[in-house]
Amino acid sequence: MARLKLATVWLGGCSGCHMSFLDLDEWLIDLAAQVDLVYSPFADVKEYPQGVDVVLVEGAIANEDHLQMIQTVRERSQILVSFGDCAVTGNVTALRNPLGSAEPVLQRCYIEAADIHGTIPHEPGIVPPLLDQVQPVHTVVPVDIYLPGCPPSATRIQTVLEALLRGEKPQLEGREFIKFG
Ligand code: SF4
């Protein structure tokens, strides 16, 4: 049987969801026997490959690079899992949305809070411009499975991956599996 091609992607999130993935501990060894990790912050792969079976997407869409990346991810992946509350709702990453745009945050961080010579970073092609409004993943591209939690527990992640490895759609029910936060 062909090994499942698994990817994980880190967009506008704190990496806590990926840390929770590492909390799978020894089950990672079982997982490694069944999948090829073809793209991830854990792997040194520069370009998102074609033909991904399952991708876990951590984080919301917060800048122009994220917008471009999520389109590529969607085009090249069969099953897209919205991985963690920032991906599912915007969560912490979207806290700046009521301010109306990214400008007040940039002013606060890089000008008002600067010790000396405050400057807002501006390097076209290197520093991606922030979007005015942070968006959860499903508002930009279709999502197949929602995996909530901040972060989702390792048990929740394992339950989803085990179902996908069996070729089934994960059934997340009850407080243990669909609680936010
Ligand atoms: S859902 Fe929580 S743990 Fe995951 S990226 Fe967002 S803030 Fe971090």
32 close to 64: Cβ distance less than 8 angstroms: no
Rounded to an integer, the average pLDDT of 35-40 is 97
Instruction: Judge whether 54 and 79 are in contact, CB under 8 Å.
Output: yes
Question: Which atom of ligand 1 is closest in space to residue 16's alpha carbon?
Answer: 3
- The percentage of residues in the chain with a pLDDT greater than 70, rounded to a whole number, is 99
State in Å: Cα 92 to ligand 1 middle: 7
Q: Is the pLDDT of residue 1 over 80?
A: no
Length of the chain as a residue count: 181
Domain boundaries, the chain: 4-97+131-178
Pocket of ligand 1 (CB under 6 A): 13-14, 16-17, 58-59, 84-86, 91-92, 150-151
What superfamily in CATH does domain 4-97+131-178 come from?
NADH:ubiquinone oxidoreductase-like, 20kDa subunit (3.40.50.700)
Residue 174: φ, ψ to 5°:
80, 165
Quick: pLDDT tens for 63-88. Answer: 999 999 999 999 999 999 999 999 99
Of the two residues 19 and 1, the one the predictor is more confident about is: 19
Q: What average pLDDT does the structure give for the chain?
A: 95
Do 56 and 11 touch, CB atoms closer than 8 A? no
The closest-lying atom of ligand 1 relative to the alpha carbon of residue 17 is 4
**What is the number of the ligand 1 atom nearest to the C-alpha of 19?**
3
What is the token pair recorded at 94?
């979207």
Q: What is the pTM for the complete model shown?
A: 0.94
